[in-house]
């Protein structure tokens, strides 16, 4: 039932959808030599013990992206794939500083990505939102510069997020830039509790005033925090294959998703960096359904949570809800 389930994705880094085949072809187009002899050799490098191992390779891969056409092709390849998986709405992240810091302009990235998102909507009826993430290993001053650069593209960017190395970079480091972003009308999310402690989830909620937490796994270490997140119905964008690939969870059978659902947390299923972690939305849903023996109604609840937690407007949410409920009726007979 996963293939035809109408799905909403809320946590996907567009630079993390860069498949090795496309990376090699764009590297050739741009006259860039990759530090790997072949697609296979690159694949083999995708063995990570922690988040930082992945980030080092992820930033290296990004170097290939040079032109607006590169960002367009990257985004369109992702949209074509998820359209085939019946993803009906997606909210993608991009890392402007990962590009501007190596001399590729903010406009190059945002225009390439946005043009593909617009074409994806007209071609496939696949709606979307774009969220720009601040890199948390950089300082707040750099995040402020990014916010400034975004001004003339405000109409293309729904919100701000926070990603990259979590340890030793607590959310409160970005309190002022989140306050400024909020003032300017951006919605807010932040990665917290992937490798970081539950206290980072608390400060993301209380100080950054986020609408969603990206990951959030470590909340389970603090029952009072779980209670608060349940009371507020704070959405958590959980990424199962990412968690096992980055050793946040040792085995899918021990993934906390079912526990989180049972506790009443508003959890959703997402792919994070699908080209690096072994799968897009369907593969993530399959992985948890199999490993945790999730019922059809649990799968339906996860899909509905993602609709509720999305930044789509009320009409779109209601259309997606209708589409999901017709499908759930058809499979529960
Ligand atoms: N965590 C933190 N930063 C990231 C990730 C992630 O999983 N993917 C891309 N940037
Ligand atoms: Zn992420």
CATH number where 306 lies: 3.20.20.140
Q: Is 188 in the pocket of ligand 1 (CB under 6 A)?
A: no
Mutate to test the pocket of ligand 1, among 56, 245, 273 (most ligand atoms within 8 A of CB): 273
For residue 199, the enclosing domain spans: 7-326
pTM over 0.75: yes
Q: CA nearest 28: which of 59, 73, 58? A: 73
| Residue 278, both tokens | 């072994």
Any domain includes 333: no
Residue 307 lies in a domain: yes
Residues in the chain: 333
- Which among 186, 238, 190 is positioned nearest to 213, based on CA atoms? 190
Q: Into how many domains does the chain fold?
A: 1
How far, in Å, are 68, 196, 212 from residue 112 at the CA level?
4, 33, 26
Q: Which residues contact 45 (CB under 8 A, 6 or more apart)?
A: 36, 57
Q: What is the pLDDT of residues 114-145, one digit of tens each?
A: 999 999 999 999 999 999 999 999 999 999 99
pLDDT (tens digit, 9 = 90+) per residue, 157-214? 999 999 999 999 999 999 999 999 999 999 999 999 999 999 999 999 999 999 999 9
Pocket of ligand 1 contains residue 284 by CB under 6 Å: no
Q: Is 120 helix (H, G, I), strand (E, B) or coil?
A: helix
Instruction: List the shell of residues around ion ligand 2, using CB closer than 5 Å.
Output: 272
For 248-297, the DSSP string reads SSS-GGG-THHHHHHTT-EEEE--BSHHHHT--HHHHHHHHHHHHT--HH
Q: Measure 284 CA to ligand 2 centroid, in angstroms.
A: 14
Q: Which two tokens stand for residue 268?
A: 């959703």
Asked if residue 248 has its Cβ within 6 Å of ligand 1, the reply is no
């Amino acid at each position: 039932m996963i293939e035809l389930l109408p799905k909403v994705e809320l946590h996907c880094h567009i630079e993390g959808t860069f498949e090795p085949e496309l990376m090699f072809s764009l590297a050739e187009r741009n006259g860039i030599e990759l530090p790997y002899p072949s697609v296979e050799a690159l694949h083999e490098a995708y063995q990570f013990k922690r988040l930082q191992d992945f980030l080092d390779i992820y930033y290296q891969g990004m170097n290939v992206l040079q032109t607006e056409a590169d960002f367009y092709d990257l985004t369109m390849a992702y949209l074509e794939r998820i359209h085939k998986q019946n993803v009906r709405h997606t909210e993608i992240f991009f890392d402007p500083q990962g590009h501007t810091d190596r001399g590729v302009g903010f406009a190059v990235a945002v225009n390439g990505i946005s043009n593909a998102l617009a074409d994806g909507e007209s071609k496939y009826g696949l709606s979307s939102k774009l969220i720009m993430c601040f890199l948390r290993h950089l300082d707040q001053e750099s995040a402020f510069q990014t916010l400034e650069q975004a001004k003339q593209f405000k109409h293309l960017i729904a919100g701000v997020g926070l990603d990259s190395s979590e340890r030793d970079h607590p959310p409160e480091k970005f309190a002022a830039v989140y306050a400024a972003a909020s003032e300017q009308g951006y919605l807010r999310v932040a990665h917290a509790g992937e490798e970081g402690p539950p206290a980072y989830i608390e400060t993301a909620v209380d100080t950054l005033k986020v609408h969603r937490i990206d990951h959030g796994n470590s909340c389970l270490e603090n029952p009072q925090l779980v209670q608060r997140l349940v009371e507020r119905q704070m959405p958590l964008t959980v990424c199962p294959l990412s968690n096992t690939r980055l050793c946040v969870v040792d085995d899918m059978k021990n993934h906390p998703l079912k526990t989180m659902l049972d506790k009443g947390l508003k959890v959703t299923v997402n792919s994070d960096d699908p080209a690096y972690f072994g799968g897009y939305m369907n593969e993530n849903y399959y992985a948890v359904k199999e490993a945790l023996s999730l019922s059809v109604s649990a799968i339906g609840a996860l899909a509905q949570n993602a609709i509720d937690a999305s930044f789509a407007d009320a009409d779109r949410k209601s259309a997606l809800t209708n589409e999901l409920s017709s499908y759930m009726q058809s499979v529960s007979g």
